[in-house]
Amino acid sequence: MSYETHLKDQKKKHNAEADADIAQYEKDNAALKEQINASLDAAAESQAGVYRQEIEQAPLDSRALYDQNAMREAIDRKKIQESLANMGMTDSGLSSSMQTALTVQKSRADNSVRAAEQQRIRAAESTIDQIFANKEQQKAQKGIEIDQDTAAYARTRRENANAMATETATALHNADVEAQNNALKVLQEQQNKRAAMAQSFINKGVKNSEAWAQAYYAYPDDSTEGVKYAYYKQLRENGYDSEYANAMSDAYTNAYGARGTEEQVNQAVVLALMATADEEVRKAGVDLQGGVVFGGGTREKYNPTADYAARIASANMAKLADKQLSDTGRMYATACMTGAAYAEILNDANAQQIGEALAQNFSGIYLEIALSYAGLE
């Protein structure tokens, strides 16, 4: 994996973690802000409560003073009346003037009490207003401090996330490079050992494909050549000679490397098998059209049964006995020659019987070949 890919992945990972941390930090600070605001509200309410009591108490205190003023006025009036009575002047103008003076005096005293009460109330209300103004100012200040703290945390957390992403990506890339170098070293050692083993077998007279198949078996890998020689070894263990195994493994590897479907790969192997068999029997001078036919030379006497097909196949196999053919080549030639023999007696009436007879004696690709040479496919 490239450094850029590692960096992209790590940035995505660390930034996602940073986003989660920042979101949690913002949530915690929002809760802290609410807690501080509630605390400030409670403190302000507590302080304001004292002054609200002052406002409630002021009229009560004033009422007592009003009462004192009224009592003083009453006492003074009685004193004046008694004094004037002693002097025999209860209805004089002096009495009226003195009574009026007492009324004015009480009124002034009451006004003084009222003014003091209003001043006391205004002072308390002003203090309450100042308490709440201070509270709002403190809220705003604390809010700014918390918001600044949140922004600073987010900025630092993202910087750290990017730094961690770069550091981790570098470490991962270095580890990849080291692993690749180690893998290449191991691969080179495997290749050297494999080549030495193959050459050792070749020096002892082992065929090239056999030697390399054994070497890849001892030191396997998943390369194209490794796949080829593993399949070659399997084919040899299945009974194919080296020529057939080599041709089929080449076809298999080519189709496999071209990313063919399983059907396409199998088809390529079968075609290679048949092509090699055909080349072998033709080099041996076998006439694939000259198969053995029984029946006295007349078409009417030919027998399309399975037993007859078996006799023809056996006779054709015996006919090939003096040819230097592999088992695969001999089977291929027998299918061709037996099918060619049946071509001599094929007509519409016995076509099904001939097909069934061949199917009783051949299978798979060899049946297809026999039917083809018989003219049935």
> pLDDT tens digits, residue range 85-119?
777 665 555 667 777 888 888 889 889 989 999 99
Would you state the pLDDT for residue 91?
59
Would you state the pLDDT for residue 334?
94
Q: Is the pTM of this model over 0.85?
A: no
Domain 3-174 has CATH 1.10.287: yes
Residues 331 and 239: their CA atoms lie apart, in Å, by 13
Would you state the pLDDT for residue 154?
96
Are the CB atoms for 343 and 374 separated by under 8 Å? yes
The conformation of residue 326, written as its DSSP 8-state character, comes to: -
Tokens 């002096």 correspond to what residue? 94
Cα angle: 344, vertex 341, 290; to 5 degrees: 110
Would you state the pLDDT for residue 73?
83
Would you state the pLDDT for residue 298?
47
- Residue boundaries of the structural domains of the chain: 3-174, 212-374
Among 343, 340, 333, 241, residue whose Cα is nearest residue 285:
333
Would you state the pLDDT for residue 110?
83
Would you state the pLDDT for residue 299?
47
Among 256, 274, 257, residue whose Cα is nearest residue 265:
256
Residues 333 and 292: their CA atoms lie apart, in Å, by 12
Show the low-confidence residues of the chain (pLDDT under 50).
298-300
Among 373, 306, 316, residue whose Cα is nearest residue 344:
373
Would you state the pLDDT for residue 144?
96
- C-beta neighbour count of 259 within 10 angstroms: 8
Would you state the pLDDT for residue 310?
92
* Cα atoms found within 13 Å of the Cα of residue 214, Cβ hemisphere only: 13
